[in-house]
Amino acid sequence: MSNVQKYIESVKDVIQHRDPNQPEFQQAVFTVLDSLAPSLEDHPEWVEADLLSRLVEPERAIQFQVPWESDDGKFHVNRGFRVQFNSAIGPYKGGLRLHPSVNLSIVKFLGFEQILKNSLTALPIGGAKGGSEFDPKGKSDNEIMRFCQSFMTELQRHIGPDLDVPAGDIGVGGREIGYLFGAYKRLRGYQNGVLTGKGLTFGGSLARTEATGFGLLYYTNALVKAQGDSLEGKRIKISGAGNVATYAIQKATELGAKVITVSDSNGYIYDPKGINYKIVKKIKEVERSRIKEYADQVASAEYHGGSVWDFDVDYDIALPCATQNEISKDQAKLMIKDGIKYICEGANMPSTPDAIAIYRENRVLYGPAKAANAGGVAVSALEMSQNSERLAWSFEDVDGRLKLLMENIFAKSEAADKKYGLDKDYQAGANIAGFEKVATAMMTQGLV
Ligand SMILES: NC(=O)C1=CN([C@@H]2O[C@H](COP(=O)(O)OP(=O)(O)OC[C@H]3O[C@@H](n4cnc5c(N)ncnc54)[C@H](O)[C@@H]3O)[C@@H](O)[C@H]2O)C=CC1
Ligand SMILES: O=C(O)CCC(=O)C(=O)O
């Protein structure tokens, strides 16, 4: 084992010892550390400075109580988190997630991923993530509002336009950001750069709603084109039916592909004629209903319970857009049998490490989340720019910048892959490209 490899293993040992009950955090960190050896061989000064130990430890992790009252007059207490992971290249930036599965391990894995993702955007933003195990499903608008107000009562102490700028993630969309912003304003005054994903009437950016899904397709298109191939006529499986999935379906369809599935945590829709994103949007965003309803409205569609990744059908591209670890080893094997050539991740860490090994063994080209889904946070950073200059850019302007940023992310990952001779390992390419910028900034700023 080389000295660099020994160093990497020693950092992993410390995490295992320190955070034994944080499996998702360990998974995210170990995957990155396992790809950094070639870069560290080139930069012995980073090993000498024990840079990795600083990278894997959050600069700050805040946990707080969130008391709120439901419509029936009962009192509840949830747990709130904000993990401010790394500020080497800009103010902390990353979403808030409201889902029963949220815990410190989940928030730390997401915050860690956000560091390198935000670095890849080429925009000046550090990495953070937050959330609560509060379940918004089935709650009234007033309950959501009271929860968001209580959450912000504490969070406001820790955020600011140049300090930490939260946004949405699972369970946090325009409605929640509106309530969070209203609560912040009441406590701290009007500073519209404190959150992104805001409504268009109070400082939101055009194209932020579409950005993660559209960006995923701009990235996928760049990856596919680099192989001399095209999206035209490709059959795509998408999981999820939320913000990312909806706009991924729209852009995939506009680029000439056919999306044949969409799903939620109960089951999935198969429509061989192609999923209509407008119907998904109405069911999920307006009616806030289950995806099952799609089959009641579209004659060619079938609904089945269970995971879309267990559904056996031929297709070309997988775009997981639901949640972490949604694809197991056996499901990856089914993808190979079904003939896929590409997988690009809209969700954060949707593939288990065993599934990723199967992609690699079978030469499926793999666009990892931190590169493929960076469009959302990239447009959030553009929203911050617009807020700073008190201007609002057109949809075409923001969307055009997003496309260039995503193509640039693919180009950077590909360049790192080539530089280190990794044979089309775009996962390692993205990890190295994201890491090298953060490492350079950390070294330049000294031991602080
Ligand atoms: N919203 C954004 O800008 C960004 C989101 N992401 C990631 O994309 C993923 C989806 O997020 P959003 O679309 O924003 O959330 P959302 O709350 O709008 O939608 C999540 C969707 O996933 C489905 N889902 C949740 N658990 C599932 C499961 N176990 N099986 C199947 N479906 C399941 C839900 O039913 C829902 O349709 C998450 O991993 C998130 O971290 C990544 C980058 C940015
Ligand atoms: O827009 C943002 O700040 C955060 C987006 C996000 O949470 C993510 O990239 O996973």
| CA–CA dist 392, 203 (Å, integer) | 8
Which residue is closest in CA terms to ligand 1's atom 43? 373
Q: How far is the CA of 211 from the centre of ligand 1 (A)?
A: 14
Cβ–ligand 2 distance for 94 under 6 Å, the answer yes
444 CB-near residues (< 8 Å, 6+ apart): none
Buried b (16+ CB within 10 A) or exposed e, 167-188: bbbbbbbbbbbbbbbebbbeee
Q: Report the topology of domain 210-367.
A: Rossmann fold (3.40.50)
Per-residue pLDDT at 327: 98
447 CB-near residues (< 8 Å, 6+ apart): 49
Per-residue pLDDT at 285: 86
| CA–CA dist 26, 243 (Å, integer) | 27
pLDDT tens by residue, the chain, 448 residues: 899 999 999 999 999 999 999 999 999 999 999 999 999 999 999 999 999 999 999 999 999 999 999 999 999 999 999 999 999 999 999 999 999 999 999 999 999 999 999 999 999 999 999 999 999 999 999 999 999 999 999 999 999 999 999 999 999 999 999 999 999 999 999 999 999 999 999 999 999 999 999 999 999 999 999 999 999 999 999 999 999 999 999 999 999 999 999 999 999 999 999 999 999 999 998 888 899 999 999 999 999 999 999 999 999 999 999 999 999 999 999 999 999 999 999 999 999 999 999 999 999 999 999 999 999 999 999 999 999 999 999 999 999 999 999 999 999 999 999 999 999 999 999 999 999 999 999 999 997 6
Backbone angles phi, psi at 92, to 5 degrees: -55, 140
| CA–CA dist 302, 272 (Å, integer) | 9
Per-residue pLDDT at 447: 79
Kindly give the number of the ligand 1 atom that is closest to the alpha carbon of 197. 3
Structure tokens at 55: 């990278």
| CA–CA dist 207, 209 (Å, integer) | 5
Which residue is closest in CA terms to ligand 2's atom 2? 377
Measured from the Cβ of residue 201, the count of other Cβ atoms closer than 10 Å reads 7
Give the ligand with the smallest distance to the CA of 307.
Answer: 1
Give the ligand with the smallest distance to the CA of 368.
Answer: 1
Cβ–ligand 2 distance for 119 under 6 Å, the answer no
Counting beta carbons within 10 angstroms of the beta carbon of residue 251, is it exposed (0 to 12), middle (13 to 18) or buried (19 or more)?
A: buried
ipTM at complex level: 0.97
Catalytic residue, chosen from 108, 129, 234, 403, is: 129
Cβ–ligand 2 distance for 351 under 6 Å, the answer no
Positions at the binding site for substrate? 93, 114, 117, 168, 380
Positions at the binding site for NAD(+)? 212, 243
129 a catalytic residue: yes
Give the ligand with the smallest distance to the CA of 383.
Answer: 2
Closest CA to 429 of 438, 419, 416: 416
Task: Sketch the domain layout of the chain as residue ranges.
Answer: 1-190+424-448, 210-367
Residue 233: left if φ>0, alpha if ψ -120 to 50, beta else—which one? left
Which residue is closest in CA terms to ligand 1's atom 3? 376
Q: How far is the CA of 310 from the centre of ligand 2 (A)?
A: 28
Angle at 238 between CA 127 and CA 304, to 5 degrees: 130
SS (H, E, C) 383-405: HHHHHHHCCCCCHHHHHHHHHHH
Per-residue pLDDT at 448: 66
Backbone angles phi, psi at 272, to 5 degrees: -60, -20
Closest CA to 97 of 411, 322, 351: 322
Q: How far is the CA of 19 from the centre of ligand 2 (A)?
A: 24
Q: Which class in CATH covers the domain with range 1-190+424-448?
A: alpha beta
Q: How far is the CA of 242 from the centre of ligand 1 (A)?
A: 6
Indicate the top mutation candidate among 96, 113, 116, 244 to test ligand 1's pocket, ranked by most ligand atoms within 8 A of CB: 244
Residue 141, SS3 per DSSP: helix
375 CB-near residues (< 8 Å, 6+ apart): 211, 212, 213, 214, 215, 216, 218, 219, 402, 405, 406
> Do 1-190+424-448 and 210-367 come out as alike in CATH topology?
yes
Residues with CB under 6 A from ligand 1: 168-171, 173, 212, 239-245, 263-265, 321-323, 326, 346-348, 373, 376
HSE (CB half, 13 Å, CA atoms) of 165? 29
Backbone angles phi, psi at 15, to 5 degrees: -65, -45
Q: Read off the amino acid at residue 91.
A: P
Q: Read off the amino acid at residue 131.
A: G
